[in-house]
Amino acid sequence: MSSGLLEDASFNQSPAFGDVDLFSADRPLADAAQRAGLDLAGLAACGKDYGAAATLDLGRVANENPPKLHIMDGKGNRLDLVEFHPAYHAMMAKSIGHGIHASAHDGSDKPGPVSTRAVRLYLATQAESGHMCPVTMTHACICALRSEPALLAKWLPRIQTRTYDPRPLPWWEKNGVTLGMGMTERQGGTDVRANITRAEAHGDHVEITGHKWFMSAPMCDAFLVLAQAENGEKGGGLTCYLMPRYRPDGSKNQIRFQRLKDKLGNKSNASSEVEFHGAYAERVGPEGAGVRTIIEMVNLTRLDCAIASAGQSRIALSQALNHIRNRSVFQRKLADQPSMRATVADLALELEAQVALVFRLCRASDRAASDPAEAAYVRLLTPAVKFLVCKSTPQIVYESLECLGGNGYTEDLPLARYFRESPLNAIWEGSGNVMALDVLRAAGRHPDQAMATVGALAKTASAAFDVRPLAETMANVLKSGDAERRARFLCEGLAKIAALAALAEVKSDFATLYGDTRFKGAKFAQFGTADLGDAEQALMDRALAT
């Protein structure tokens, strides 16, 4: 006679995570949206959409069935076609339907268009991260196209639709379009000024010959690329161009995909190596001003990296909380075990600070055009926030994975996928050292504004914990000849002061606790080593409200 316990496969197993309102269950996020005066009901609907079990399963399927590159058909005709699984297309249609690709630019979200879109992005990446690559690039490319108003006027109506149209057709025949980027080359990487790809003038357009070592989302309808203008009217130099997949006569452009990158994670998204053989393109911005043309676009993608990484940490922590609240060990729920509570509450405290910080940066972005102080905040803090949030994500995701024990390490559950995804945003759009050096560059270009920003942050933060000694040490290092060697110290210190300031500014109950555990005395490296006292339950409840 069989045992009923053995027949019950769910015995002492946590339920599958799904059909959750990812917005309302995330109290730090909901509080940030409420403070910004955003549409809470609309964002809750978005949270339910991305938290639906069916949506979360689309993310799984899209990553288990990565895209395939078809270079030629059976008769030797060039295809240069990337085939995606229907689950990927379903995620793209959902996120474009929510306007994450363009809503911050069209005035549809008031107040706080940057902040409203950021909430949606934060929610969407919890369901599936890879498809956000073309979505975030389309959003960012609009800024670069503004430097060429006539070109933007042609493309914008199809960019701003809420329709995803994956058909391989000329862009003017489609109901909606997406944009990608191709900046880096094998010999230069981050040093785009070392690019060797060339653009030859042909009347109202150029023809580009060369390569890109990384060109993501190769099935986009056009790409912003950097190339050296030859024999130009203003002496040539690195210039930005818009390269469509089809030439104006409707023929395929000379874009030849070589292979798709075999990446650690981000499996649903296609990243390609590509060659251009006289590919048609139109100039964007002044000749020789390629870096200046794309810089605002880069800042937007960096902001998106921070938002998405915070979202990835959030979904991992939510999975951990769902597990420990339902799994019993030694006659008690895991959530009631003191060492587990200490660990998970520490993770939740980190997310309290990161969400406050990321949405403080979004608020500054919403106001930067009319407020010089907020513009200075965005300029200095964007690389620092990306540095701190993105580089924290792998550790947060790993600790969340460990909460599930051996189950967390299996491919049957999503934590393994989250972990593979977690390092990516710290690398894309500038790795850690690049971010740290960009903080130094921003401070060097606008020293008075930078010092004023740091001073204001230290003053606000010190209402919760006195960070002025750290700020003074940072100022001395910045003035010394050792600043580049200590760039990471300066960058992380700035970001953590800004995180504490963001908590203090909104009078968070956890501001002083964050200061005590992140700034005082000997700081241990692992989550769970901080003494959070009686704040543990409140932090856990806010991280995944029931």
Structure tokens at 497: 């002061």
Q: Which CATH architecture has domain 171-289?
A: Beta Barrel (2.40)
pLDDT, position 373: 97
Bridge partner residues of 78 (DSSP): 72
Pairing of strands 205-216, 222-229: unpaired
Mean pLDDT of the chain: 95
Tell whether the model's pLDDT for residue 524 goes beyond 90: no
Spatial separation of the C-alpha atoms in residues 300 and 380, rounded to whole Å: 13
Spatial separation of the C-alpha atoms in residues 443 and 528, rounded to whole Å: 35
Spatial separation of the C-alpha atoms in residues 382 and 371, rounded to whole Å: 16
Contact yes or no for 544/386 (Cβ under 8 A): no
Which fold is adopted by the domain 292-543? Butyryl-CoA Dehydrogenase, subunit A; domain 3 (1.20.140)
Residue burial 450-477, b: 16+ Cβ < 10 Å; e: rest: bbbbbeebbebbbbbbebeebbeebeeb
Q: Among residues of the chain, what percentage have pLDDT more than 70?
A: 97
pLDDT, position 44: 98
pLDDT, position 461: 98
pLDDT, position 4: 60
What value, to the nearest 5°, has the Cα angle with vertex 402 and ends 398 and 404? 130
Backbone phi and psi for residue 51, each to the nearest 5 degrees, phi listed first: -90, 0
Grade residue 362 by pLDDT with cuts at 50, 70 and 90. Answer: very high
Tell whether the model's pLDDT for residue 287 goes beyond 60: yes
Contact yes or no for 454/474 (Cβ under 8 A): yes
Tell whether the model's pLDDT for residue 2 goes beyond 60: no
Average pLDDT of 7-33? 92
Contact yes or no for 393/317 (Cβ under 8 A): no
Q: If we measure between CA atoms, which residue out of 123, 128, 116, 51 comes closest to residue 89? A: 128
Structure tokens at 361: 């940066």
pLDDT, position 11: 87
Tell whether the model's pLDDT for residue 63 goes beyond 60: yes
pLDDT, position 233: 54
Average pLDDT of 329-357? 97
Average pLDDT of 270-281? 98
pLDDT, position 193: 87
Tell whether the model's pLDDT for residue 8 goes beyond 60: yes
pLDDT digits 0-9 by tens, 427-477: 999 999 999 999 999 999 999 999 999 999 999 999 999 999 999 999 999
pLDDT, position 161: 97
Backbone phi and psi for residue 207, each to the nearest 5 degrees, phi listed first: -120, 125
Average pLDDT of 355-373? 97
Contact yes or no for 326/15 (Cβ under 8 A): yes
CA dihedral 380, 386, 392, 398 (to 10 degrees): 180
Q: Which amino acid is at 13?
A: Q
Q: Which amino acid is at 24?
A: S
pTM: predicted TM-score of the whole model, two decimal places: 0.95
Q: What is the 3-state secondary structure (H, E, C) of 360-424?
A: HHHHHHHHCCCCHHHHHHHHHHHHHHHHHHHHHHHHHHHHHHHHCHHHHHCCCCCHHHHHHHCCH
Weakest mean pLDDT among 160-174, 178-192, 303-317, 381-395? 178-192
Structure tokens at 323: 């597990």
Contact yes or no for 421/265 (Cβ under 8 A): yes
Highest mean pLDDT out of 29-43, 179-193, 229-243 = 29-43
Structure tokens at 176: 């909606």
pLDDT, position 3: 58
Cα distances from 85 to residues 259, 277, 420, in angstroms, run 18, 29, 20
What are the residue ranges spanned by the domains of the chain? 27-146+153-159, 171-289, 292-543
Spatial separation of the C-alpha atoms in residues 285 and 148, rounded to whole Å: 6
Tell whether the model's pLDDT for residue 5 goes beyond 80: no
List, as one string, the DSSP characters of 336-353.
Answer: GSHHHHHHHHHHHHHHHH
Alpha-helix runs per DSSP H in 241-371? 290-324, 338-367
